[in-house]
Each structure stands twice: as structure tokens, then as C-alpha cells.
Amino acid sequence: MAEETAWQQALRKASRANPYPFYEELRKTPVARQPDGSYVVSTYRELVQLLHDPRVSSDPRKRPGAIPGADPLEANIIEMDPPEHDVDRRRMTRHFGPPERPHMIADLEPKIRRIFAGLLDDMKGKTRIDVVDEFAFPGPVTVICKVLGVPLESIPRFHGWIETALDGLDFGPEASDPEQQRRLAAVPAAVVEMRQFLADLFDQYRKQPGPGMLSGMAHDNGPEGRLPQESLVNNAMLMLFAGHETTVNLIAHSVLSLLRHPDQLEKLRRRPELIVPGVEELLRFESSVQLWHSRSALEDIEIAGTTIPAGSTIFLCYGSANRDPERFENPDKLDLERPNNEHVGYSQGIHYCFGAPLARLEVQTAVSEFFRRVENPRLVEDPPPYRHNQIFRGPRHLWVDIDGIRD
Amino acid sequence: MTMPATVAELVRTFKANGRIVIVGASLAGLRAAEALREEGFHGSLTIIGDEPYEPYDRPPLSKQVLKGWVPADHTKLPRLRELDAQWRLGVAATGLDRATRQVRLADGEQVPYDRLLIATGTRARQWPNRTEAALEGVYTLRSRDDAARLQQALVARPARVLIIGAGFIGSEMASVCRELDIPVTVAERGSAPLVGALGGVIGKIATEMQRDHGVDLRCGVGVSSLEGDAGGHVRRARLSDGSTVEADVVVASLGSIRNVEWLEGSGLAAGFWGVGCDAGGRAFDINGVVTDTVYVAGDVARAPHVLYEYQFLAMEHWDNAVFGAEIAAHNMVNLEPDYYPHLLLPGFWSGQFGVNIKSVGVPPFGDEIVFTQGSVKERRFAAAYGRRGRIVAAVTFDHGRWLEYYARLIEQSAPFPPPPPGWDRPDDMNPIPADFPEPGVPTAIPDVVLTGHDPNERRAEFRPRRR
């Protein structure tokens, strides 16, 4: 058997807690051809260049030999190209931010504050907490339900479907293991159920308008019209899972990173305003979206001394680009005051994360409040256990011993 | 002491005890002052400005302020740090004596300096006929006060506004008038709006945009005279084609004049296009010798640009003010080999008629244009400008997120036309002449200009026709 590439090694489950040594190896070849013919981009400059290149498609349906319907997430805006992408994205963002809803995020602040404060209140009397299950997950999932207008009672149901779908996805050498094959086989049923759930929700909102983006999108009479039913469901699915999974991982990773770097935590305690640049650095340091899989070259693209042939799949490794020493001085050092921190944690170009303002507010609030109120937090297990998914990388649990919760 | 140790000692002493004077208290002046402190300059810092106000932001004046969304006095620039500077606001600099290193102020005071930064920017070109310019209802737009007055005039709902000149500011004002549902006529001497900055191909699209939004756009005509009523209020304009326009508000949007008059006799390379300086912001004297004590930044600076055959480039752009000021500030408190170059790719944005227009590079340097992405018909597209087979600039209409791609191509002098995109291709992707006006054709001067290789450019001169 041929030796595994650095990319394949980075994707192994055993590397999830620390893929960085493999990324360092990977960056020696900024655009690296893999045995299956795909190309992995791991350096900052090349990754940013391709994010802005109009010869790169985000739509897996345009790849040679693509099977329609194979990807459960397809036909949402993150997997579409202009001009359709631009129209659909506008039909969504007009319910989320400026110019139509300039105050939407700012107005959520008191609610977000209350949600995270309540979760910390619930930890009173405990000496050991799971930061993921008791804080990093319930906060963002509640927020996204409020933003979209998804009933809170449905959280356990859709959380299960999302877990199943994310567990089934694997781009590494372990994809062919029987256990992983079984997980993959469970994905379509979960996606069907989730689609049905969201389709029913839209039906309900069409009859009876309610608060939140989904109802707004179902009744949209904007200049470019309404998203068709199929796109409504696809994009609702995208917003529902991308709208909290990434934030969950960032909050959990932020707590973990700060507990691993007591000097930075001490600095943050002395100067709480550092949370704003700090969250950018925490996202650079442990990127919530480690890689993206859906891009491909529509023409031959010459880059970094190689040619990506038309039709090739391109993996963008954000997690590695954010640790590229050519762009970030001492990239493996956490520095809450890092100057010129233009990380790619939210991507760049036309697919730049439109939920970024919401994520920033949530994580700034959650992490500030956590370290203000939790007394003497100590990591129980380092590294913590990680979730299976390679894209949405984050701890499955994060056990922390505490002395109490301040008011 | 070794030479490097001597240089280090000089730098240290200057940072501790030097005297720096900045003339110009707008964006470039403020950002330079902040950058100087950021560089560790602890000496005395004086900022001189002819306007009585603290530094404010100009781009909103022709947009949010005119629309009435933001009061003109709510445009103060955010401060990036503490300054500890002496502000001399409301008093203009009137002279410079380089021999004694003193700036002369309008109130007669002399301010001594060890290092001087010239950031005096530009002012609006007034309507050339003074009597007509003095009529009530005749405006220009450059300052906060201008914007406040014009906004008040729009609130009074004039029967018609006449805008003379369809450059960016004129077009933005026309757009605001239409948004406020005020009838507006635009008179442009050139063949189309924006033609000086973006050429005739884009100018044609801008023409359609204006007309679709109900602007009475008249191109190829000048305004010969303005007429007032008995009360001294403007009522009518006579156009060069013999027609007349009844208007009770007239805005002269005739471009800008660089504020260099105060440098008369200073021996600096100052002229029509501004003050010549090297790419590090050090001013040239009239013989083309670079000075050690005088620096230039912002709209009033013109410096050779590596991407454009080292021609001197003058840029009236927001980011040029910010980044040029930072570079000049750094170089003011350092010595060789620690000088930084100001290697900015020019860029600007404009909002008009619901479309966000952005550009990088120097479009008039190109002679060909090709639509590269999107749809011209839907007015969402990207286009690239080429010259002798390389890409030199790009413009986007509601496609600003792609600009970074073109910026990289321009920086690399990549081939023109660029490779076609993988999707959303325009109907016609053949390069065509960009159709810039011939030199000498009277139209708005673009806000980014290549001004030749002579550091002491004095040849170009604006001579309004005398009647």
C-alpha cells in the first residue's frame, strides 16, 4: 500500500485533536494533488487567490460525472455559482441584515445575553461541567431557532438528524471502513426527515405567519421574488445547521484554547475589551470550518507552479491557511492582540459567511461571561474527545472542573 | 560609534524630541498624526487646518448627509488612538519657509518644524463667474458646511435642481435628488457621465442609469450663464446649445483644485496636479531633488507609481489618504534603509441609482475594455481595462466582491483580456475600445490621474474661458 499523504493523515480520526503537524507538512506543497485526482490547497495566499477566482465553481453538480441528488446539502447557496447564487443569497440576507434589517443582530443582544446567563446559572452547585453539552451547544442552537423561527421543542429531533448527517461525511482514508459505511448509509433517511420537517414548517408559516426568517422568506415580496419551495427547504437546512454547529465548535474551542494559554486568559481577564479581537484570533487558531469540499476547477488553473486541470475537485483547507507562517507570524501562538489578523475563518469573496455578525456577538458574549462567572475552571481531559466530522471540527465533550459560578 | 549606531541614535533622538507639523486636518492629516504616535514619536505634534472642525469623513456628505439620513455634523472621523497634539483649527497655512523651517499662518504666527507633512488636499472648483456664483441657491460640495447648506436647500423641495458636471460627485448628487423625488437636470460637457474616469463604454451605461431614474441628462453641453431674480436668487441657466433650464438650486460639480497656493515661493515642486513626491512621500523641490524634511500625503500628493511606468500618479481617493499618510508618517520618523514605499493600487467606490460602483487600478491608463462577468443589461457586471495586452484596471457594478481577483491580476500585470470565468459570462466578451475622451476634450477630470514623468509638473493649467 502506498504511503498516505499528509492530507490523508490529517483527515484520520486520530488526527482530529491536532491536525496541525500534518498541515505543516501539507503546506510544503501549497496546491497538492491527491491520489484520487483532487487538489488540496493549504497555504493562505493560494487559498485566498482561489476564493476570488471566477473559474472556480462551488457547485458539485458541475463536476464531471456528478450524480444528481448525491450530495444531501446541494442546491443551497453555499453550493451554487452566480448568477443564481447572488439572487438567492440576496433573497435570504434581506431578512437578516442591512440594508433591509439593519438592527436585527444588535437587537438580539439582550436575548443572547440572557440565554448564556441562564446556562451559567444552571451550573450552580456543580463541580464538573461539560462545556459542550451544557453551554456551547444549547446557547447557539437556541439563538438560531429564535432567528429562524424554529420551535425550541424540535431541537432534539433535528439535532439527531444533523448528527447523523455530519457523522456520515468522511473524506479521509477511513471512509471505506465498514463502520463508516454504515454511518454513511444512515444519512439519506436523516436528510429526508429533516427536509420533511422544514417543508412542514414552511407550510405552517404560509398559513399562519410568525416571527423569524423562515416565515419572512415564505412570505417574501421583495424585488427579486420568493425562493421556490425546494430552495427554501435547502437553504433553511443550511442556515439551521451552519447557523449553530460552527458557533458551538468556536465556543468550545475558545474555552479550550484559553484554558491551554493561561497568559492569554489572564490578559483577557485584565482587559475584557480584548474579547473583540480575541474572538477573531480564537477563530484563526481553531477554525470552525476546517476545510471545504465542494469546489472544483471549471477551466485549467495555473497556481503555485502547478496546473489544476478543469474538472478537478478542490479542497480548501481553511484550518491550515489560518496557521500559515507566511501570513501569520508565530502562527501556532495564541495572541489575542494579533495585528492584521485577516484570517479566513469566515471565508472570503462571494461565499463569505453572512452569519458572521451573529456568530461574533454570540461567541464574544458566551466566552466573556464564561470566564467572568466560572470560578477556577480546570481542564479534566486534554485533549478532549472530538466529533467525527472533518469539516465542522470540534470537541464532542469538554469536561471542566470548577469551584462555582459567580453571580 | 559605527554608522548604523549613529543612525539608530538619530532616530531615537528625533522620536523623543523632534517637532512635527502637519498642515491639513482631514483624513490624511489625522491618520498621519495617529501613525506618528503609533511609530513611537513622542515629540511635539501640531496639526493645522483651515476649517474650524475636527477631522470628518467626506464620502457620506454626497450620500447619507444629502439624503438627510445623517446630519452633516455627525460625520466626525473615529479616532484610532490618543494623539496629544496641538490643534490649530480654523486658521489656514499661508506660507512655507524651508530655509528657516517655519510654516506661516493666516493669523501671522510662525510655526517651526523639524519635519513637515503637507496634507492640504483639494477644494471644490467654484463656478467661474463670481457674480453668478454669488447668487443665492448656487452651491458646491466639498466640506461639511457645503453639505449642510445643500441638504437644507433640498429639504425645501426645490422645483428643479441643476447639477453642472457628471463626475462621481455630480452623479451621486443627481441620484440623491431622484431618491428624494426632486426633479433634476444634469449638464455635462463630455459625452456621458463618468466618461473621464471610466470611459465612454461605461459612460453609456451610466447615461442609461441616469435616464432610467428620471434624470434630465444633457451631455455635450456646457452652462454658459446663470441668471438670478430681483432678490438675487438663481432662477435659470443658459446652456451652450441655446436652451435654458429653470432651476432654483444649482450645484457646480466641476472637480477639485489642489491646495498648493500657500506653497508659492517655497521652492517645492508644487503645481496644478499637487506636490510632487517620491513613492515614500518625500517632497521634491523644483529641481527634482528630494527633500529630507518635507513630506506629502493624500489628495495633494503626486508620486511615481511602479505599475504605471513610474508616471506620477495623483489620487483623490479615501484609501490613498489613509495609507499614504501612514507611509509618510513612518518615513518621517525613520531613516534609510527603513523607509517604506507607498505602493497602493488605486481604488474607489461610489453609490448611485441603487448601484454600487467600484474600481481598482487606473482605468484611463487603458485603451480597451472587456466585460468579464455578469450582465450589462442587468447592470451587475465586472469589466477589465487593458493596454498593450496587459490588464491595468477593472470596474464593477454591484460586483464588488470580485474586485480582489482583478486587483491581483493588475498587480501581476497579467495578460489582457483575462481568462473567461467558469459561469455567469457576459453575452459579449470581446475587447472593445474603452473610449476615453481625447486629451483636451473638456470634461470632468478623473479623480485618479497619471500626470507624466516630470516631478515638477507645471505645464497643465486650467484656464476657464473668459467672456
Which of A46, A52, A301 has the most B C-beta neighbours within 10 Å, making it the best mutation to test the interface with B? A52
Question: Taking CA atoms, what residue in A is nearest to B374?
Answer: A83
**B142-190 tens-digit pLDDT:** 999 999 999 999 999 999 999 999 999 999 999 999 999 999 999 999 9
> Hey, is the C-beta of B427 within 8 angstroms of any chain A C-beta?
no
Q: What is the least distance, in Å, from the CA of A25 to any CA of chain B?
A: 27
Q: What is the least distance, in Å, from the CA of A393 to any CA of chain B?
A: 28
Residues of B whose CB is below 8 A from A52: 402, 404-405, 408
The mean per-residue pLDDT over the stretch A30-57 comes to 97
Residues of A whose CB is below 8 A from B408: 49, 52
> What ipTM was estimated for this complex?
0.89
Domain limits, chain A? 6-405
Domains of chain B as residue ranges with CATH: 3-59+76-123+257-332 (3.50.50.60), 125-254 (3.50.50.60), 347-442 (3.30.390.30)
**A106-128 tens-digit pLDDT:** 999 999 999 999 999 999 999 99
Residues of A whose CB is below 8 A from B402: 52, 54, 349-350
Structural Rg of chain B based on CA atoms: 23
pLDDT value at position B447?
Answer: 74
The mean per-residue pLDDT over the stretch A232-237 comes to 96
The mean per-residue pLDDT over the stretch A48-73 comes to 85
| B428 contact partners, CB below 8 Å, separation of at least 6 | B371
Which of B408, B419, B424 minimises the CB distance to A299?
A: B419
pLDDT value at position A68?
Answer: 67
pLDDT value at position A74?
Answer: 62
Which of A53, A297, A299 minimises the CB distance to B405?
A: A53
Beta strands of B221-279 (E only): which ranges? 223-228, 234-239, 244-246, 249-252, 256-258, 270-271, 274-276
Residues of A whose CB is below 8 A from B374: 82-83
Q: What is the CATH number of domain A6-405?
A: 1.10.630.10
Which of B377, B401, B402, B427 has the most A C-beta neighbours within 10 Å, making it the best mutation to test the interface with A? B401
Question: Taking CA atoms, what residue in B is nearest to A352?
Answer: B401
A70 pLDDT tier (thresholds 50, 70, 90): low
> Hey, is the C-beta of B264 within 8 angstroms of any chain A C-beta?
no
Inter-chain touch B423–A82, beta carbons under 8 Å: yes
What angle do helix axes B144-155 and B168-179 make, rounded to 10 degrees? 30
Answer whether A392's CB lies under 8 Å from A249's CB.
Answer: yes
Which of B380, B408, B422 minimises the CB distance to A54?
A: B422
Inter-chain touch A56–B423, beta carbons under 8 Å: no
A279 pLDDT tier (thresholds 50, 70, 90): very high
Inter-chain touch B402–A350, beta carbons under 8 Å: yes
Question: Taking CA atoms, what residue in A is nearest to B373?
Answer: A54
**A7-22 tens-digit pLDDT:** 999 999 999 999 999 9
User: In this model, does residue A149 exceed pLDDT 80?
Assistant: yes
What angle do helix axes A229-260 and A275-285 make, rounded to 10 degrees? 100
Question: Taking CA atoms, what residue in B is nearest to A349?
Answer: B401
pLDDT value at position A221?
Answer: 86
Q: What is the least distance, in Å, from the CA of A81 to any CA of chain B?
A: 7
Inter-chain touch B424–A83, beta carbons under 8 Å: yes
Residues of B whose CB is below 8 A from A349: 401-402, 404
Question: Taking CA atoms, what residue in B is nearest to A56?
Answer: B422
Inter-chain touch A298–B423, beta carbons under 8 Å: yes
Which of A84, A86, A294 has the most B C-beta neighbours within 10 Å, making it the best mutation to test the interface with B? A86
**A86-110 tens-digit pLDDT:** 999 999 999 999 889 999 999 999 9
> Hey, is the C-beta of B402 within 8 angstroms of any chain A C-beta?
yes
Residues of B whose CB is below 8 A from A82: 373-374, 423-424
- pTM summary value: 0.91
Residues of A whose CB is below 8 A from B380: 83, 86
- Tens place of pLDDT per residue across chain B (467 aa): 688 888 899 999 999 999 999 999 999 999 999 999 999 999 999 999 999 999 999 999 999 999 999 999 999 999 999 999 999 999 999 999 999 999 999 999 999 999 999 999 999 999 999 999 999 999 999 999 999 999 999 999 999 999 999 999 999 999 999 999 999 999 999 999 999 999 999 999 999 999 999 999 999 999 999 999 999 999 999 999 999 999 999 999 999 999 999 999 999 999 999 999 999 999 999 999 999 999 999 999 999 999 888 999 999 999 999 999 999 999 999 998 999 999 999 999 999 999 999 999 999 999 999 999 999 999 999 999 999 999 999 999 999 999 999 999 999 999 999 999 999 999 999 999 999 988 666 555 667 778 788 777 654 444 444 44
pLDDT value at position B463?
Answer: 45
User: In this model, does residue A204 exceed pLDDT 50?
Assistant: yes
Residues of B whose CB is below 8 A from A297: 422
Question: At CB < 8 Å, which residues of chain A contact B?
Answer: 48-49, 52-57, 62, 81-83, 86, 297-299, 348-350, 352
Residues of B whose CB is below 8 A from A56: 422
Question: Taking CA atoms, what residue in A is nearest to B381?
Answer: A83
| Enclosing H/E stretch for B403 | helix B403-411
